[in-house]
């Protein structure tokens, strides 16, 4: 279970959602891609 939590914590999308500015950056990157 710990490995699963580590996976989610390190996942860029999950990490981005936890931080609004990072979320906006990820959203902009997704639009630009």
Which range marks the domain in which residue 16 is found? 2-32
State how many domains the chain has. Answer: 1
Sign of the torsion formed by the C-alpha atoms of 19, 24, 25 and 26: positive
Segment 6-24 mean pLDDT: 66
24 has a pLDDT exceeding 70: yes
Q: Model pTM greater than 0.75?
A: no
Percentage of residues of the chain with pLDDT beyond 90: 0
Maximal CA-CA distance, the chain: 35
28 has a pLDDT exceeding 70: yes
pLDDT for residue 12? 74
pLDDT for residue 17? 67
9 has a pLDDT exceeding 70: no
């Amino acid at each position: 279970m710990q490995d699963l939590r580590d996976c989610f914590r390190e996942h860029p999308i999950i990490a981005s959602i936890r931080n609004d500015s990072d979320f906006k950056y990820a959203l902009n990157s997704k639009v630009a891609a």
